[in-house]
């Protein structure tokens, strides 16, 4: 019951607050209102349950070909626009998931359509070269326009890849190669090195390690999986490396109110890091590198302070280990800066920074000394896709032209303030609101409540992703990761919509759910009959009417608060009479948190202007995205 009410309020908030420029689906912020748009959606529009009949039919067909356990529903990408995703059953949903937080500026953005339709770019889309051996003529130029134009501090080299996992996997290899050359004092392997590596033995295959953190997620390939510690199902039955795993700080939020306690917790974790490095060296498996996320995303939106990362960086230097910052989730503007590690305020933040998702391509930046010393050591067939660099260059133009990083910062403050208000209002349901930019999160008291909220929110026209973090949180959380073109008014509305869901927490079991999408036009009328009948109708902008009649006999008092508040009571007759009361608070604003750069119940922004909901254990696809 309480989760049903919370769902309604969350949906209302998400709908209103992340709407770009106006109540409708816009691609840009108000500051960039001149951007050409094909058309706008004015809000969600739900025609069937989700998944609908067509999605179920297609899921059955696909199930005869491959595993469909993770499929939520099938989509109509041609009809999707901005922050709104349309499924094959015609349901239009506010997307707070943004394709696992990988869409930077929304669906079918006009600027990206222009890139695709430009005849000068045709060759890049038709021909996919093996970049490692035969790159196109304009490849250096396009890298300079795209990836190198946003290179992290102190890094002038970038190695392109395809996805987050292969980016991290090859970054690990680069750290191992660098470390071994440093041990040798040169980069010339011995005959024994060359022969022993062919049978997976040392010294050619040295027993080196990478230190990672509990709760981290770095990918699902073999090396990356050894450093991933967020969900057991990812690792089950797969052999792995015996590498050190340090605790990630379990901080109290808001961080500024618990500085002493959090400093002690971070000191404890840093001490454990040093102890592990020493222990593994004594075991003959020295730590060649340390890998960490600026914010643990899949692990539960776990934060640490800049002081923690600065000291961790110094520990890596002290022990001769490379320092790898994984920005696959956090890069691209979602935290209000293009790279989350920029919040640390360091001139030399890392030796390697990996990326993917909102960057539209994968890869890693690195210092000169981590450049592979020989050909084919960091290599695969495609080494990325040059067509993605064309899209990325235009995405970066949009971000700069429309000052979207400033927009994310302002919107994020509004969003986080709204989450604080919600947890103050519903302390038994919500806690630990936190965030950076629109990369925000809030915990829900338990998995069941979270899952119920997610299901109800989706039926109101909002897509999201849910998982449960098992080692840090006892309850569930939802993450909202919007796109980079998130706008301030969208955040305001989102918070209001969350309130609408929460205020339906009655003290008795009264379930009242709406299947329409809450937009910006709302009419509320009551007709009462003193002859024991009660008609209750709602009229919405989608020409949706709802009639609710009570013929029970009981004493029934309630308070309705709309634009104004009033109290009235009426009595009905029944076989027995009883009295109950409840409060309805209808708020017309809707908060849309997943627009093009951000992420909420862990509410977290992963995209820059679209939103993602996630919690830490997967909810069955047919019962929750």
Active-site residue set: 217, 326, 357, 381
Starting at the earlier edge strand, list the strands of the sheet with 84-86. Answer: 84-86, 92-95, 462-463
Instruction: Mention every residue, 6+ apart, whose C-beta is less than 8 A from residue 424.
Output: none
Beta strands in 298-346 (DSSP E): 322-326
Rounded CA-CA distance 491/302 in Å is: 22
Cα 350 to Cα 369: distance, rounded to the nearest angstrom: 13
Q: What is the Cα gyration radius of the chain? A: 26
Query: What is the rounded distance in angstroms from the CA atom of residue 136 to the CA atom of residue 387?
Result: 11
Strands (E), 339-453: 352-355, 362-366, 430-436, 439-444
Residue 348 to residue 345: CA distance in whole angstroms: 9
Give the pairing of strands 555-561 and 157-161. Answer: unpaired
- Residue 603: its H or E element: strand 603-604
Bridge-partner residues for 302, per DSSP? 296
Residues 6+ apart with CB under 8 A from 197: 204, 205
Long-range CB contact pairs, 574-578, < 8 A, 24+: 577/553, 578/554
Helix or strand holding residue 339 (H, E): none
Three-state secondary structure readout of 396-418: HHHHHHCCHHHHHHHHHHHHHHH
């Amino acid at each position: 019951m309480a989760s049903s009410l919370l769902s309604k309020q969350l949906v209302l908030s998400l709908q209103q607050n992340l709407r770009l420029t106006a109540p409708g689906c816009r691609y840009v912020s108000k500051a960039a209102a001149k951007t050409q748009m094909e058309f706008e959606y004015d809000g969600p529009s739900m025609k069937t349950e989700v998944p609908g009949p067509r999605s179920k039919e297609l899921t059955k067909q696909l199930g005869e070909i491959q595993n469909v356990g993770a499929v939520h529903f099938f989509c109509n990408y041609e009809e999707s626009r901005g922050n709104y995703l349309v499924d094959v059953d015609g349901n239009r949903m506010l997307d707070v998931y943004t394709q696992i937080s990988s869409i930077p500026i929304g669906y079918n953005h006009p600027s990206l359509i222009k890139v695709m339709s430009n005849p000068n770019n045709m060759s890049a889309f038709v021909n996919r070269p093996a970049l490692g051996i035969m790159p196109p003529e304009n490849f250096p130029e396009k890298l300079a326009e795209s990836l190198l134009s946003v290179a992290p501090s102190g890094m002038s080299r970038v190695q392109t890849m395809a996805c987050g996992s292969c980016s991290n996997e090859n970054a690990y290899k680069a750290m191992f190669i660098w470390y071994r050359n440093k041990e040798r004092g040169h980069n010339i392997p011995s005959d024994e090195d060359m022969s022993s590596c062919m049978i997976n033995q040392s010294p050619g295959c040295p027993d080196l390690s990478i230190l990672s953190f509990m709760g981290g997620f770095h990918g699902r390939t073999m090396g990356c999986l050894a450093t991933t510690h967020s969900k057991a199902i990812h690792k089950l039955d797969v052999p792995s490396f015996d590498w050190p795993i340090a605790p990630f700080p379990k901080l109290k939020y808001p961080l500024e109110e618990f500085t002493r306690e959090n400093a002690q917790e971070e000191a404890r974790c840093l001490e454990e890091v040093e102890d592990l490095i020493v222990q593994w060296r004594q075991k003959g498996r020295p730590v060649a590198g340390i890998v960490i996320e600026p914010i643990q995303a899949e692990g539960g939106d776990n934060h640490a302070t800049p002081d923690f990362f600065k000291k961790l960086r110094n520990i890596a230097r002290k022990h001769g280990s490379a320092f790898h910052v994984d920005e696959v989730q956090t890069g691209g503007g979602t935290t209000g800066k293009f790279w989350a590690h920029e919040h640390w305020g360091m001139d030399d933040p890392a030796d390697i920074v990996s990326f993917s998702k909102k960057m539209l391509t994968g890869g890693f930046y690195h210092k000169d000394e981590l450049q592979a010393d020989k050909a084919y050591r960091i290599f695969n067939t495609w080494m990325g896709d040059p067509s993605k660099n064309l899209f990325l260059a235009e995405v970066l133009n949009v971000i700069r032209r429309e000052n979207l990083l400033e927009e994310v910062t302002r919107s994020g403050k509004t969003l986080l303030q709204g989450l604080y208000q919600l947890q103050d209002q519903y302390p038994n349901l919500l806690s630990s609101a936190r965030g950076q930019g629109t990369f925000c999160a809030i915990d829900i008291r338990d998995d069941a409540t979270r899952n119920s909220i997610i299901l109800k929110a989706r039926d109101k026209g909002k897509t999201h992703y849910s998982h449960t973090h098992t080692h840090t949180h006892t309850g569930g959380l939802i993450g909202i990761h919007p796109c980079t073109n998130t706008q301030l008014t969208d955040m305001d509305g989102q918070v209001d919509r969350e309130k609408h869901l929460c205020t339906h927490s009655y003290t008795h079991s009264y379930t009242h759910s709406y299947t329409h999408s809450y937009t910006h036009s709302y009419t509320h009328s009551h007709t009462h009959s003193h002859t024991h009948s009660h008609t209750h109708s709602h009229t919405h902008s989608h020409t949706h009417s709802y009639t609710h009649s009570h013929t029970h006999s009981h004493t029934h008092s309630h308070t309705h608060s709309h634009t104004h508040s009033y109290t009235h009571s009426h009595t009905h007759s029944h076989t027995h009479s009883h009295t109950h009361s409840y409060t309805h608070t209808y708020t017309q604003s809707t908060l849309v948190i997943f627009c093009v750069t951000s992420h909420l119940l862990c509410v977290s922004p992963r995209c820059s202007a679209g939103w993602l909901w996630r919690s830490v254990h997967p909810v069955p696809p047919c019962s929750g995205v």
